């Protein structure tokens, strides 16, 4: 009798376990959930999605912040954006405000440094910046024709370039430097010496090493270079306003390939501003399309590391989520794209949304609202 009862109880337990497992499997199968995470849409709305691919082709507007002014969190033509290595700080160049403002990923103002002037830690039209592996911040001080280095909190460390504040074509000096890039090994610093149409290489202490390139449109030549980026393999990417193209070089600055010319198609640019790379070495470009004869439809374009077009996004306007003059951009460790709009004096955030990629279907499986 006791044996029969025990057997009956075991059968009930096994049945309940099997029912539970089938229910979980059915739910995951119906919802299409393999690995999931939460993506913010607006401040209190979220959607439940599959893990994102490396080549996202759809982006949605998430948030924006900023307005015209000189108060904390306001801008006078925001320019370059750069995250620190932990994505804790988003450094933003407030160009005509002659300062650097620092935010968290959600746009909360944290601190600022710099003011107009020629002294240490002061700026005259700061333009591009880079955050090195130590967290030091390097700023291309365009109007002062020099590079300045700060610690992560904005304390001045060093400077090099034109100490008299006047443009120069001499080796080791600058004429309107627009960007600075430090290699991951903390060995060299590279500067886009824009009006001298060259890249200059320095050691980490600011000692001149060599000049790369000259004016022209052939491979390895430049016409107003504006950004330098280094990918995970040590290759260099440089975009040129004058040639409306992007050049890719190996780690020794041997030209590998280039793409782009003036126009409005998916592989053309019009008054192209700057580039940024994500963790997959994809290349993002801010393209205002603002010159005469172009589409007047500003956009952000995305390419793979060989210049193959992937996608584009952006609509013209001053309403929520729209852009007029996209300047710089940064990509965080979750693949969100941060874009500075120097006309609207705002920073906008766009997030990748799921899509079909490499035969792997990815889609939204549900929405919910409210706090955590």
In degrees and rounded to multiples of 5, residue 343 shows phi and psi of -80, -45
pLDDT band at 55 (very low <50, low <70, confident <90, very high): confident
Mean pLDDT for the stretch of residues 317-342: 97
Domain ranges of the chain: 54-353
State how far the Cα of 265 lies from the Cα of 263, in Å rounded to an integer. Answer: 6
State how far the Cα of 372 lies from the Cα of 369, in Å rounded to an integer. Answer: 9
Query: For position 7, what pLDDT does the model report?
Result: 53
**CB of 225 within 8 A of CB of 199?**
yes
State how far the Cα of 135 lies from the Cα of 158, in Å rounded to an integer. Answer: 15
pLDDT tens, 18-27? 555 444 344 3
pLDDT band at 39 (very low <50, low <70, confident <90, very high): very low
State how far the Cα of 67 lies from the Cα of 74, in Å rounded to an integer. Answer: 5
What is the overall mean pLDDT for the chain? Answer: 86
State how far the Cα of 50 lies from the Cα of 360, in Å rounded to an integer. Answer: 11
Domain at 54-353, CATH from 3.40.50.1220, 1.10.150.80, 2.120.10.30, 2.40.50.140: 2.120.10.30
pLDDT tens, 254-291? 999 999 999 999 999 999 999 999 999 999 999 999 99
Higher pLDDT, 184 or 361: 184
Query: For position 15, what pLDDT does the model report?
Result: 56
Q: Which CA distances in Å does 317 have to 80, 103, 212, 235, 341? A: 21, 25, 39, 36, 11
Query: For position 11, what pLDDT does the model report?
Result: 55
**CB of 237 within 8 A of CB of 245?**
no
Q: Among candidates 211, 210, 248, which has minimal Cα distance to 229?
A: 248
């Amino acid at each position: 009798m006791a044996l029969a009862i025990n057997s009956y109880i075991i059968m009930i337990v096994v049945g309940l376990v099997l029912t539970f497992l089938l229910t979980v499997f059915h739910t995951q199968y119906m919802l299409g959930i393999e690995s999931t995470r939460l993506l913010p849409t607006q401040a209190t709305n979220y959607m439940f999605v599959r893990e994102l691919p490396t080549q996202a082709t759809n982006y949605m507007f998430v948030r924006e912040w900023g307005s015209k002014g000189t108060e904390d969190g306001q801008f006078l033509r925001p320019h370059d954006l750069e995250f620190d290595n932990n994505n804790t700080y988003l450094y933003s160049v407030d160009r005509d405000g002659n300062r650097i403002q620092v935010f968290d990923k959600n746009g909360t103002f944290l601190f600022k440094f710099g003011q107009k002037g020629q002294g240490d830690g002061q700026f005259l039209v700061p333009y591009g910046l880079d955050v090195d592996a130590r967290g030091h911040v390097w700023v291309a001080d365009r109007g002062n024709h020099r590079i300045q280095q700060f610690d992560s909190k904005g304390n001045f460390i060093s400077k090099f370039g034109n100490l008299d504040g006047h443009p120069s074509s001499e080796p080791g000096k600058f004429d309107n430097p627009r960007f600075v890039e430090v290699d991951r090994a903390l060995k060299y610093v590279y500067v886009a010496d824009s009006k001298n149409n060259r890249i200059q290489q320095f050691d980490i202490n600011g000692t001149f090493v060599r000049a790369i390139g000259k004016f022209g449109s052939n491979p390895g030549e430049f016409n107003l270079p504006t950004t330098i980026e280094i990918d995970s393999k040590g290759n260099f990417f440089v975009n040129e306003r004058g040639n409306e193209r992007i050049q890719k070089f190996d780690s020794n600055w041997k030209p590998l390939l280039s793409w782009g010319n003036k126009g409005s198609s998916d592989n053309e640019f019009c008054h192209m501003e700057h580039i940024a790379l994500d963790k997959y070495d994809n290349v993002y470009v801010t393209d205002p399309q603002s010159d005469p004869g172009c589409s007047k439809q500003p956009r952000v374009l995305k390419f793979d590391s060989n210049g193959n077009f992937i996608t584009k996004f952006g609509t013209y306007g001053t309403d929520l989520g729209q852009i007029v003059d996209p300047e710089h951009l940064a990509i965080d460790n979750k693949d969100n794209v941060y874009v500075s709009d120097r006309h609207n004096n705002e920073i906008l955030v766009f997030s990748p949304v799921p899509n079909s990629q490499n035969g792997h279907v990815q889609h939204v499986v549900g929405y919910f609202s409210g706090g955590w």
